[in-house]
Structure 1
Amino acid sequence: MSGEIRERSRRGGFWIPGQKVTGEAGTLLRGSMWVEWESPVDPLADPVVFVHGGGGQGTDWLMTPDGRPGWAAEFVAAGHPVYVVDRPGHGRSRSHPDLDGPLTGSMPLEAVARVFASSVGQGDEAARDGIRDLVLHQLGASAGPRHRDLAEGNRRDADRLVELLEMIGPAIIVSHSLGALGSWVAASRRPRLVSALVAVEPPGPPFSTIPGVGRLDSGLAAIDPADVDTTVDDAWARSLSGVPIVVVTAPESPFRDGASRLAGYLVALGLDAEEQALEQHGLQGNGHGLILESNSSSTAAVVLEWIATRRGHASL
């Protein structure tokens, strides 16, 4: 019909309320998590839960610093319903130290430039065009504080992610950077609700120390057999035995070595895990912020192809 608008996707949002606690003025909710979703009208592939990293927020998946659509849009176009979370204490999932415990300071622009060097852009040409400052300021404006207690923050992430998985059914978890820590725990608690795990530039290996962040005694290192589904072997190393896992690494990332060693650790445990290094796909120059960089469509395609291969979805 002339003038008819065809609906291609639907979208919305909701809260995972969190834990009830008693405050001076009454009952409060601690560790709430905002979830923004979009789905094709006729989904053709597994739902995907996007978990941002460090001091970031869900917008990391929705857009890039130069204003293009982010990975979430790429996955919707490939037929996946997507659920983009703001981890408790980040983005719209607001936090207050009186309720949630001490917070770190926000990431200064100098630190943003070091961690996301490839994302910010290097060289005189980028600086002359103003691209470097534009991207740097976009990244810096989106960065916020983190829980000072890294392990406690990861536990809250895992609690809320488990609740989300129980609402939406089996899904693929795609995490970036520190977002992987709570994702490992959530998946180990509900392995039957996780179709696959994609860890983009995750911290690791377990029990290492990241300067300015802390010791990695949470995430993989904190998976307790008591938390694991009792229908699965109670050894945490086997809790993810039926879940395909990929660790995506970038050649220019300062965290490349740790992420690669983590992939090796997972393989050594006998898990169905592998590393996908971007340079193996002809992608050079990417750094830790590979989901945000100028070739983000190409980096997303690497993950979509891996999912299509492992999950049997047709590439669209």
Structure 2
Amino acid sequence: MRPAMAILCATAAAVLSGAAEAQVLKEFGSFHVGGRQASLSGYPVTESVFTQGAPPTRVDPNGDFEVEQMYVQYLIPEPQRARYPLLMWHGGGLTGVTWDTKPDGQPGFMQYFFRAGHPVYVSDAVERGRASWARYPEIYKTPPFFRTKKEAWEQFRIGPAYATDPARRVATPGGRFPVQAFDQFAKQFVPRWTSNDAITQRAYDALVEKVGPSVVMVHSQAGNFGFRAALNAPGTVKGLIALEPAGAPAPGPELDRLTAIPMLIVWGDNIGSEPVWVRQQPFSLAFAADLKARGGDVEVIELPKVGITGNDHMIMMDTNSDQVAGLIEDWMRRKGLLRER
């Protein structure tokens, strides 16, 4: 640990109590990983006023830029119960805030697993949050998409009918999402680009290489990135936890590379209420069946079938998220990913 960090942690006496036992925050920090230098030339120089009352400033868009990088924040507990760091990868149109404090103010998965003794690495993928953007269309070739609140409310299975007036929104009966905090959740939405999968995969692969042996937890769009990262570094990814993954590798011989990696796939409730998940879920189920047939160690948990009901797409934000996290923690124990007490 760097001296300044040691002094800060010791002085602050940063102790968090929670899921398993008290944990001291041994170290925290952040870094960017992946990316490349891009150079632009031949674009016109303009003038712009950067702040009210200031004179116009010459703006030259030509030059060198760092692009396609990923941002990562980490929290290291003491003692550590987990054998490997836990990397948390968010879904489409979202950032690492997915795993942080929940929209209703309750602790999220990042805090839960830190308190259970896991070093946690929470990333903002390429183009998201603190990873930063790149110029469009000079570097990003397609325009960004922005998620509406209606799309999130209905597609994420929070409820069957969205309305601008919160009092008129129809929530899923028995649903676990804290609907009173939905507008707060919507503040997390960020633009996404559909043309950036390849560069995002490279950044995730670079993160796995930098951190080393680790367990990867993915959500939604990150499902494909997590499965592909395991295929690209099967000796480094020691476990993979996929929460409602949007897609999975097609069954085939390349899955032989994954047979030694324990995998857990978790699906929530009311899948049949939203067409996108009726289409998406079979991909991960077919992947799991093929991997099992090849001798792989993959477990699929459909929460309603184990008596946990009402979960939507944002499982880590639901009011019973600790119960689901405990189920995941138990799976990790059974797979030898935790140290014996």
Correspondence list, 1:54-203, <5 A? 54-96=92-134, 97=136, 98-118=138-158, 122-123=170-171, 132=179, 134-149=180-195, 153-203=196-246
Which residue identity does 2:324 align to in structure 1?
A: T
Segments of 5+ residues of structure 2 without an aligned counterpart are 1-10, 16-23, 42-61, 163-168
Cα separation, 1, equivalents of 2:286 and 2:238: 21
RMSD over aligned CA atoms reads 2.8
CA distance in 2, matches of 1:125, 1:256: 19
SS where residue 121 of structure 2 aligns?
Answer: strand
Q: How far apart in 1 are the matches of 2:332 and 2:115? A: 14
Query: Take 1:148 and 1:222, find their aligned partners in 2: how far apart are those partners?
Result: 24
In the alignment, the residues of structure 2 paired with residue 4 and residue 302 of structure 1 have an alpha-carbon distance, to the nearest angstrom, of: 32
Q: Aligned equivalents of 2:99 and 2:308: distance in 1?
A: 20
Which of the residues 306, 313, 323 maps onto 1:288?
A: 313
Tell me if 1:301 matches 2:326. Answer: yes
Structure 1 residues 100 and 279: CA distance shift in structure 2, 3 A: same
> How far 1:272 sits from its partner (Å)?
2.0
Kindly state the Cα deviation for residue 314 of structure 1 after the two structures are TM-superposed: 5.4
Q: Read off the aligned partner of 2:157 and give its amino acid letter.
A: A
Number of residue pairs aligned between Structure 1 and Structure 2: 281
1:54, 1:143 → 2: CA distance? 9
Q: Is the 8 A contact 1:281 1:302 kept in 2?
A: no
Shift of 1:244: 0.9
Separation (CA, whole Å) in 1 of partners of 2:313 and 2:254: 28
> If the length of structure 1 is used for normalisation, what is the TM-score?
0.80
User: Structure 2 CA distance, aligned partners of 1:193 and 1:90?
Assistant: 25
Distance 1:117 1:262, change over 3 A: closer
Q: CA deviation at 1:13?
A: 0.8
Change in 2 beyond 3 A, CA 1:28/1:258: same
**Match in the other structure for 1:212:** none
Secondary structure of 1:287's partner?
A: coil
Counterpart AA for 1:311? G
For 1:117, what is the secondary structure of its paired residue?
coil
Distance between the aligned counterparts of 1:81 and 1:299, measured in 2? 19
What residue identity is the alignment partner of 2:96? G
Structure 1 position 237 matched with structure 2 position 255: yes
Shift of 1:251: 1.5
Matched, 1:34 2:71: yes
One-letter amino acid of the counterpart of residue 143, structure 1: F
- Residues 91 and 5 (structure 1 numbering): CA distance in 2 closer, same or farther, change over 3 Å? closer
Q: Which residue of 1 aligns with 2:33?
A: 16
Separation in 1, partners of 2:85, 2:223: 18
Tell me which amino acid in the other structure corresponds to 2:290: A
1:259 aligns with 2:281: yes
Q: Percent identity?
A: 23
Contact in 2 for aligned 1:18/1:33 (Cα 8 Å)? yes
Gapped runs of 5+ residues in structure 1?
A: 207-219, 224-234
Relative distance call for 1:15 and 1:4 in structure 2 (3 A) is closer
Contact 1:103 1:145 in 2 (8 A): no
Cα distance in 2 for residues equivalent to 1:106 and 1:161: 23
